[in-house]
Structure 1
C-alpha cells in the first residue's frame, strides 16, 4: 500500500512538473513575442530562469527514474510471489494426490487380500476339495457350462437348469468323479 502511495505521489509530482514545464514553455513563447521586452528582461531574469529550469529538469528526471525503479521493483516482487504461489500449489497438489492414491490403493489391496483369504478358506473345505478334484480331472468346466453330449439348458423359475439327456444314439454323457 505504501509503495503504491509513493508511486502515486511520484506520478503526481511528475504530472505537476509537466504542468510547470508547459507553463514555462508558454511563458517562454510569450517572452519571444516581444523581442524588446525579452532582451530587457533577459538580463535580469536570465540567472533565475536558468536555475529554475535546471531545478525543474533535474526534478523531472529524478521523478522519472524513481517511477521506473518503483515499477521494476513491483514487477519483480509480483513475479517472484506468483512463482512461489505456483510452486506451493504444485507441491500441495502432488502431496494431496499422492496421499489419496496411496490410501485408495491400500484399501483396494486390502479388499483383494480379504477376498483371496476367503477363497483360500473355502478351498480348504470338503466342498472346495471336491471342486478342485473335478477340475483336475477336467470335469468342472463340463459340469459348470452344461457342455456334455445331449445336455440341454432350460430357463425355470428365474434361473437356468442343465438337463443331461440321451443324444440321438441313446448315449448320455457324464463326468469323472474326483
Structure 2
C-alpha cells in the first residue's frame, strides 16, 4: 500500500501541480492583459503629454513673438515720442528765440531812431547849422582834430586842449567860418 499511496500522493501532487500551473497561466494571462492595458494607457498618456508639450511650445513661441512685437512697438512709440518732444522743443526754442530777437531788434531800432531824431533835431538848431557849414568848408575836421598848421594839443586839468601857435615863419593859421 505504500506504493499505491505513493502513487496517489504523486498523482495528487501532479494534479496539484497542474492546477497551480493553470492558475499561474491564468495569472500570467491576466498580468499580460494588465500589462497591455497599461502599455496602451502609457501610450495614450505619452501622446497626451506630447500634444500638451507641443501646445505649450506653440504657446510659448506665440508669447515670445508677441513680446518681441510689443517690444518693437514700444521702442517705436518711445522713439516717436522722443522725436516729437525734440521737435516741440526745437519749435518752442525757435519761436521764443525769434520773438526775443524781434523784441531786441525792435528796441535797438527804436533807440537808434530816437538818437537819429535827436541828431536831426540838433542839426536844425543854429549850432547844428553852423557845424554843417564848417563841415561843408572842410574846417570841421581841422577844428575837431586840431590839425591846422602850427596848432598843438596839450593836456590841462585832465583834458586835451588845442592851441594855435605861430609857425616858423611867424604866421598864424585858422579856419574858414561859414
> In structure 1, how many angstroms separate the alpha carbons of the residues matched to 2:55 and 2:153?
109
Tell me whether 87-96 or 68-77 shows the greater mean CA deviation.
68-77
In structure 2, runs of 5+ residues without a counterpart are 1-37
Per-residue CA deviations over 1:75-112 (Å, capped at 9, x if unaligned) read 11111111111110111011011000000000000000
In structure 1, runs of 5+ residues without a counterpart are 1-38
> In structure 2, how many angstroms separate the alpha carbons of the residues matched to 1:112 and 1:64?
70
- Which residue pairs with 1:71 in the alignment? 71
| Higher relative contact order structure (alpha carbons within 8 Å, sequence separation ≥ 6) | 1
- Indicate whether 1:113 and 2:113 are aligned: yes
> In structure 2, how many angstroms separate the alpha carbons of the residues matched to 1:44 and 1:151?
127
- Indicate whether 1:51 and 2:21 are aligned: no
Q: CA deviation at 1:43?
A: 2.6
> In structure 2, how many angstroms separate the alpha carbons of the residues matched to 1:110 and 1:63?
69
> In structure 2, how many angstroms separate the alpha carbons of the residues matched to 1:155 and 1:106?
42
> In structure 2, how many angstroms separate the alpha carbons of the residues matched to 1:175 and 1:59?
107
Q: CA deviation at 1:60?
A: 1.1
- Which residue pairs with 2:170 in the alignment? 170
CA RMSD of aligned residues (A): 1.6
Structure of higher CA gyration radius: 2
- Which residue pairs with 2:133 in the alignment? 133
- Which residue pairs with 2:22 in the alignment? none
> In structure 2, how many angstroms separate the alpha carbons of the residues matched to 1:151 and 1:113?
37
- Indicate whether 1:102 and 2:93 are aligned: no
> In structure 2, how many angstroms separate the alpha carbons of the residues matched to 1:135 and 1:49?
112
- Indicate whether 1:142 and 2:145 are aligned: no
TM-score (norm 2): 0.74
Q: Counterpart of 1:168 in 2: which secondary structure?
A: coil
TM-score (norm 1): 0.74
Q: CA deviation at 1:47?
A: 1.9
